[in-house]
Structure 1
Amino acid sequence: MCVGSVLRRAMEDRTYRVMAEPADVPRRFRVEMGEAGRRLDLFLAERLKLSRAQARRLLARGAVRVDGGRASESRKGVGLAAGTEVEVAPFRRPREARASAEADAPLVVLADGPGWLAIDKRAGEPVHPLHEDEGGTVLGAALARHPEIQGVGEGGLRSGVVHRLDVETSGVLLLATAEDSWHRLRQAFAEHRIDKRYRALVAGPIEPRGSISLGLVVARHRPARVRVVPESERARARGVRDVEMSWRLLETRGAVSLVEVRPVTGFLHQIRAVMAHLGHPLLGDRTYAPPGIARAAARHMLHASQIRFEEVSAESAEPADFLSAFEAA
């Protein structure tokens, strides 16, 4: 594990504080007919009343046996058959940190429905906190209006979070307010069934339309950065994710183009890294753009403008700083 991963894990581990109540006997469960097909990590989370992250930690520690055989973390997504026996070794139940509700924090709800909210995230606002004392997050503001979000999905500091946007990215963000909606939306994201559209200000004239598929890999973790993996390196590179997206040109002003981007996949910094790879970095992107373009705006000019999936539909207009940056081009 790289140093960045260790540091990030150490920060997240602050959320798992030991309670005084130990579990000094193994727990044994039999998968019922109604639970057949349930993922192992989800089964553990529901039966033990843990978050999925905590359940995965039990798997990583080798504390879980399925039909007598030790189950590693790699089996977290395995569907269980009815009658399967699951045994969990004694463990201390962690107290999971919780995000604090922030009643005074602004929150703009673009749309909502049974089990979900579409929020208009502001640039500079983190989606969720990294520790209990952190404020100014979308989740904190949402919890003040919708306390039922607490514990949904991954629970804890990531309660209700279905997907993420970079801190500097503005626009549509989905939160789940119910467990079944969280699973439905997460699965839809994983299966690339969500129609996501972004607006971006990129450097230079760009082809009117285009699409691209390539591999990305995390190059370093703190600060996070990804890089494109050349075909010649793919065989020996680890952790490569295939990504796919398309774009169309909306308008050009001087040396700046306004484009609509439709990512099929979702990966860390995908739009920013791929556009930079194509020679069209985002204005204000201090991670992937050269200095002159990085200084052209106060933040990277990326806005999540639309999300659609079944009954879920939300749109967000470009914020003032985005429009000003384009007008100044």
Structure 2
Amino acid sequence: MPISIETVNQLNSQESQYDSEFFKQFAADITVYEDDDILLVDKPAGLLSIDGKDLKVSLLSRLEKANPDIKLIHRLDMDTSGLMIFAKNKPAQTHISKQFIERIPQKEYQAVVMGTLAVPGKKGEINIPVRYEPTIKPKHVADPDWKKHALTHYEVLHHELREGKAVTRVALHPITGRSHQLRVHMQHLGHVIIGDPIYAEGEALSIAPRLNLHAHKLRLKHPTMNTWMAWESEVPF
């Protein structure tokens, strides 16, 4: 859902009034792991990864105010929470960015989707391209004729009830990293992620106060030690 210009201006104004101690404390509160080369944080839902065209409030800009050397590697959707890795120097940024390009990092998200999806333990894949659709922005759509493929592996964890409605908790492993890939792939499967302000409607939207999508686990090679490291963030829903 688009944010009104009045809200954008209010948020920008509020952000400009915070002092350096606010940003340092913010960074400290969300830090999962830090060393001389990398910073792992637990991104809050509802916060842009990078500044938008109008809204100048984002995870990156806040972290840069705490440490000007912070460098972006990848992004999460504004509505998604969970693990994000940043570099603290250019060589580390180059090293880890190359890993993402080569699809070396192992990523696991958790999501809660509307309805009963298969049986617990069921594994599958969704292999259909995802592209931006300007006529219904900011939505993306599944398009089998699009040139760039998109692949997600999933596993059904268990079934739950939310407000008396059947939902399913799933683990999602994106092999590619297209914008809105997990959200569109689950919708394409017929089980939209609950609380999604862009793709969910009716009960699927109202049943949860936020998008139930969280970057739960991340595993990759450290840029200088060249050893595998793994992190996990508690799922908040």
Q: TM-score, normalised by structure 1?
A: 0.58
Q: Secondary structure at the match of 1:110?
A: strand
Q: Identity percentage over the alignment?
A: 27
Q: Secondary structure at the match of 1:114?
A: coil
> For residues 273-288 of structure 1, what are the structure 2 equivalents within 5 Å?
273-288=184-199
**In 2, Cα distance between equivalents of 1:300 and 1:133:** 20
Tell me: higher relative CO, structure 1 or 2? Use CA pairs within 8 A at least 6 residues apart: 2
Tell me whether 1:122 sits opposite 2:36 in the alignment: no
Match of 1:251?
A: 158
**In 1, Cα distance between equivalents of 2:49 and 2:101:** 19
Alignment counterpart, residue 137 of structure 2, candidates 214, 223, 234: 223
Amino acid at match of 1:110: V
Match of 1:191?
A: 102
* Contact 1:103–1:144 (8 Å) recurs in 2: no
Question: Cα gap change, 1:112/1:221 in structure 2, threshold over 3 Å: closer, same or farther?
Answer: farther
Amino acid at match of 2:143: V
> For residues 10-49 of structure 1, what are the structure 2 equivalents within 5 Å?
none
Question: Cα gap change, 1:298/1:177 in structure 2, threshold over 3 Å: closer, same or farther?
Answer: same
Question: Cα gap change, 1:183/1:132 in structure 2, threshold over 3 Å: closer, same or farther?
Answer: farther
**In 2, Cα distance between equivalents of 1:124 and 1:300:** 9
**In 1, Cα distance between equivalents of 2:31 and 2:220:** 17
By how many angstroms is 1:286 displaced? 2.7
Match of 1:179?
A: 90
Q: How many residues align?
A: 203
Match of 1:203?
A: 114
Gap regions ≥5 residues in structure 2: 1-17, 223-228
Q: Secondary structure at the match of 1:103?
A: helix
By how many angstroms is 1:109 displaced? 0.8
By how many angstroms is 1:248 displaced? 1.0
Match of 1:315?
A: 232
Q: Secondary structure at the match of 2:203?
A: helix
CA RMSD of aligned residues (A): 2.2
Question: Cα gap change, 1:265/1:121 in structure 2, threshold over 3 Å: closer, same or farther?
Answer: same
Gap regions ≥5 residues in structure 1: 1-99, 150-159, 323-329
By how many angstroms is 1:296 displaced? 1.4
Deviation string, structure 1 residues 227-257 (Cα, Å, up to 9, x no partner): 1113xxx2xx5xx320111111112113111
Question: Cα gap change, 1:310/1:205 in structure 2, threshold over 3 Å: closer, same or farther?
Answer: same
**In 1, Cα distance between equivalents of 2:75 and 2:136:** 18
Amino acid at match of 1:121: K
Q: Secondary structure at the match of 2:85?
A: strand
Question: Cα gap change, 1:201/1:113 in structure 2, threshold over 3 Å: closer, same or farther?
Answer: same
Q: TM-score, normalised by structure 2?
A: 0.78
Match of 1:46?
A: none
Q: Secondary structure at the match of 2:124?
A: strand
**In 1, Cα distance between equivalents of 2:55 and 2:218:** 31
By how many angstroms is 1:132 displaced? 9.3
Match of 2:59?
A: 138
